[in-house]
Amino acid sequence: MRDSESIADVISRVLRYGVLISAAIIIAGLLLLIAANGLSDATPLLNFDLRQAPTLGSFASGLASLQPYSVIELGAIVLIATPVSRVLISVFLFAAQKDRTYTLITLVVLSLLLFSMLVTPFIPLFQG
């Protein structure tokens, strides 16, 4: 029981740090957004037809010039990465305990998760 308690402590800390880091980045991005556009009309920013899917290039250059949207996207990516890192770290925690069943279970979950996150966006079947 003591061992699974220490696993719980580590996972709890991973989740807490992930949440705090993403919140800090999103707050910074939101403040930048309000400073730039706070008193302008929100309607054009909410027009779905004008939406822009971020590319790696636009995201990187947006971050470099502290564009509010890119900063917020970075925060969202950290938030999305938080449960993923939780699964990743669980694999190592169970492996360190020589718990083969749960090392395998978490490894399967991690593989499915990474496949779904990183591979399926490029498969036409999933473009819906």
Partner 1 sequence: MLVLEFVVILLLVSIFAGIFGSIVGLGGAVVTTPVLTLLLGVDVHFAIGASIVSIIGTSSGAASTYVKDQMTNLRVGMFLEIATTSGAIVGAAVAIYANSFVLKLVFGSILAISLIPTLLKIGEDLPRNPELTGLSKRLGLTGSYAEPNGTIVNYNATGPKAGLFGMAIAGLLSGLLGIGGGAFKVLSMDLAMKLPMKVSTATSNFMIGVTAAASAGIYFARGDVNPLIVAPVALGILLGAMIGARYLVRARNPTIRKIFAVVLAFAALEMVLSAFGI
Under rule CB under 8 A, residue 103 binds partner 1 = no
**Residue 65 DSSP symbol:** T
Torsion of CA 49, 54, 60, 64, to 10 degrees: 30
Under rule CB under 8 A, residue 46 binds partner 1 = yes
In the complex, minimum distance from the CB of residue 118 to partner 1, in angstroms, rounded to a whole number: 6
**Residue 126 DSSP symbol:** G
**Rounded CA gap, 55 and 57, in Å?**
5
Q: 63-99 burial by CB neighbour count: b if 16+ within 10 A, else e?
A: eeeebbbbbbbbbeebbeebeeebbbbbbebbeeeeb
Among 6, 61, 66, 83, binds partner 1 (CB under 8 A): 83
Q: Which CB sits closer to partner 1, 64 or 125?
A: 125
Under rule CB under 8 A, residue 5 binds partner 1 = yes
Note the residues at the interface with partner 1 (CB under 8 A).
4-5, 7-9, 11-13, 15-16, 18-19, 22-23, 26-27, 29-30, 33-34, 37-43, 45-46, 48, 51-54, 68-69, 72-73, 75-76, 79-84, 86-87, 90, 101-102, 105-106, 108-109, 112-113, 115-118, 120-121, 125-128
